[in-house]
Amino acid sequence: MTDERENPFERFDLDPREGPRAITERLRELAEDAGEAERATIRAAWEELTLHPLRRLRAAIGARPRHPALDRSGPEHAPPKLRKAAAEEPVGLADLAPRPSVVQALASFLSRGAERGPKAVLSLDEDPVLAAGAPSSDPAFAPTSPERKR
Amino acid sequence: MWREEDEALLTRLTDEIVFERLFRAQASAGARPPARGAGLCAALRRLPGGSEALVEATRGGKLEPLLALLEPARQIDPPPELLHHLALHHAALADAAASSTDAFVRSITAWLALGREDRYLRELGEAVTGGALARQDLDRALADAPLWPIEELGERARNGARDLTADAQRALAALGRVPEAARIARAPEALAERAARRATSIVAVAVEEALAPVIAAFTEATTHGDPSASVGASLLNRFVAVWRWSGEDESVEHAAIEQTTPLAWAHYRASRWDDLRTLIAPVAPLVDSLAKRIEEDPSQLAYAARAAQMLVFRSDVVRTEQETIVLLDRAITICPTHRNARLMKANTLCDQALRLLPGARAPTRADHDKAAGLLERAEQIYPGATRLPEARKRLGEARKLLGITS
């Protein structure tokens, strides 16, 4: 109850008042986009919240009530055409940092990136585009250290 | 066109920005604010002065007015959503800051205040369980809900008990302040009593858990005979560590005295006074604490004799007669019928009288009168005192030398 990271309602942005069916639907949506590890976590949360009403109640009471404006301010309520306006005041670092709601919205996207693992990200040397254009040895732009000059 | 949805988005994002600032100011600059924490700002906005406090926090970064609203003790009948947020907000701060017990206490205060909000909890409970729980089970769960954080604190305390961790110590300290939290929360009497009882029993379990390895070590050390005074003292120091960790819990005092007494008797009977002094020195604060409890509540008779005996042991190894008298008086105060304390006190008075009565020559009349008074007191305290006959005899000789006939 004291650890918001572990509270499944907060972690998966679920409204406890919506009941097991809505919880199931939301978690199914999340599971579809999730990697294997995250899917197991989602399944555990689903079991916790839908199979045990007392545990669901306990988790619900341990979850912060949602912001009252949340249901009227999601992406689906964005205006049809967004206009770009110049900022009236200088933008500070705090203004650039993602808001918690944004971080949460990106969480599943970021976790998918993490699950691909570091090996999936090519280094510059392995980049096929760069590799195709580079000479096979002693490139023209190689550093000219004293040793190399000899 | 500025739509209602735009206003809702602006409000939410403003609340998120303010909450971030607030949380980082209260926890630490690098702390990650909980995702739903901004709802706290929405709840604060509905309080008198809440909107103004949020505006100040948004524009000028001035958080003081907002911080004042976060104190559960200052709220008079706050909305239940705010209590719910405050309970979880202060719990999160307690985790993030990890320094004081106050955040835990504020959290418990808010939970117990939420216990007054039957309607809010019931609506939430019914919506969440949707009839999946039998009525009586839901009733029981909702009645217990404000106590769940107390149980969680107990789990923290138990988990760190054997290693006497700082986190467990904070949890214990917060549990000790549950009655204070209930008072601030103006919790219903029945809820306040249940909360205090639950906290007391949880503390007892955690302290027992902390004592278990110490008692096991003591048992192991005494299996093959009495340990030396220094080994005994180092084992007793472990009781002292548990006592300090537990916030000077009385049950630790009982356990320490129970383990000390047989070892102290062994040194006493062998007249090993230095060893006795070494052995009992660590537990002196525990004995004094227990004695104070008994002085303040004379109905606590169960441990009076044991505590008195520990004071008598100490009276035997202190350096001055004045210290001896003070300790024996205290022993008699907490256990008026304690034989050893009365005997020792009577003998000490006899010794004082004997020093006033040289024997071979006449004392001054003043010394005679003083000695007579001391022996009268000794007789009242313990008529069978071993040194009383000799002192009486010496007093009689002094009377003859002084020519006192009556």
CB-CB under 8 Å, B11 with A69 = yes
pTM reported for the whole predicted model: 0.77
* DSSP one-letter string for B194-250: HHHHHHHHHHHHHHHHHHHHHHHHHHHHHTTSPPPHHHHHHHHHHHHHHHHHTTS-H
Is residue B234 within 8 Å of residue B281, measured between CB atoms?
Answer: no
Question: Residue A56: its chain B contacts at CB < 8 A?
Answer: 128-129, 132
Nearest to A72 among B5, B13, B88 (CB): B5
Question: Residue B107: its chain A contacts at CB < 8 A?
Answer: 2
- Mean pLDDT check: name the lowest of A132-136, B63-67, B274-278, B323-327: A132-136
At B180-191, the pLDDT tens digits run: 999 999 999 999
Question: Residue B149: its chain A contacts at CB < 8 A?
Answer: 1-2
Q: What is the mean pLDDT of residues B189-201?
A: 97
CB-CB under 8 Å, B125 with A53 = no
Our CA-based measurement puts residue A85 at a distance from the nearest CA of chain B, in whole angstroms, of 14
**How far, rounded to the nearest angstrom, does the alpha carbon of residue A93 sit from its chain's CA centroid?**
21
- The ipTM assigned to this model is 0.78
Structure token pair of residue B28: 């630490």
The nearest alpha carbon in chain B to A55 belongs to B129
* DSSP one-letter string for B331-354: HHHH-TT-HHHHHHHHHHHHHHHH
To probe the interface with B, which of A99, A101, A103, A106 has the most B CB atoms within 10 Å? A99
Our CA-based measurement puts residue A144 at a distance from the nearest CA of chain B, in whole angstroms, of 44
CA distance B395 to A138: 117
Instruction: Please say if the pLDDT value at position B19 is more than 90.
Output: yes
Question: Residue B138: its chain A contacts at CB < 8 A?
Answer: 57
Is residue B342 within 8 Å of residue B355, measured between CB atoms?
Answer: no
Diameter of chain A measured on Cα atoms: 78
Q: What is the mean pLDDT of residues B312-334?
A: 95
Nearest to B95 among A2, A53, A72 (CB): A2
CA distance B140 to A54: 11
Entry field: residues in chain A: 150
Crossing angle of the two packed helices B166-176 and B178-185, in degrees rounded to 10: 50
SS3 B127: helix
Q: What is the mean pLDDT of residues A52-74?
A: 89
Question: Residue B17: its chain A contacts at CB < 8 A?
Answer: 94, 99
Question: Residue B3: its chain A contacts at CB < 8 A?
Answer: 79
CB-CB under 8 Å, A10 with B8 = no
At B106-161, the pLDDT tens digits run: 999 999 999 999 999 999 999 999 888 999 999 999 999 999 999 999 999 999 99
Our CA-based measurement puts residue B141 at a distance from the nearest CA of chain A, in whole angstroms, of 8
Nearest to A3 among B5, B42, B95 (CB): B95
| Confidence label for A111 from pLDDT (cuts 50, 70 and 90) | low
Please enumerate in sequence order all residues whose Cβ is within 8 A of that of B95, keeping only pairs 6 or more positions apart, or say none.
A2, A3
Is residue B130 within 8 Å of residue B171, measured between CB atoms?
Answer: no
Instruction: Please say if the pLDDT value at position A148 is more than 70.
Output: no
CB-CB under 8 Å, B20 with A99 = yes
Nearest to B128 among A56, A65, A66 (CB): A56
At B86-100, the pLDDT tens digits run: 999 999 999 887 667
Structure token pair of residue B212: 């278990």
For chain B, say whether A79 makes contact (Cβ under 8 Å). yes
Question: Residue B129: its chain A contacts at CB < 8 A?
Answer: 53-54, 56-57
CA distance B201 to B192: 14
| Confidence label for A126 from pLDDT (cuts 50, 70 and 90) | low
Is residue B331 within 8 Å of residue B366, measured between CB atoms?
Answer: no
CA distance B51 to B58: 10
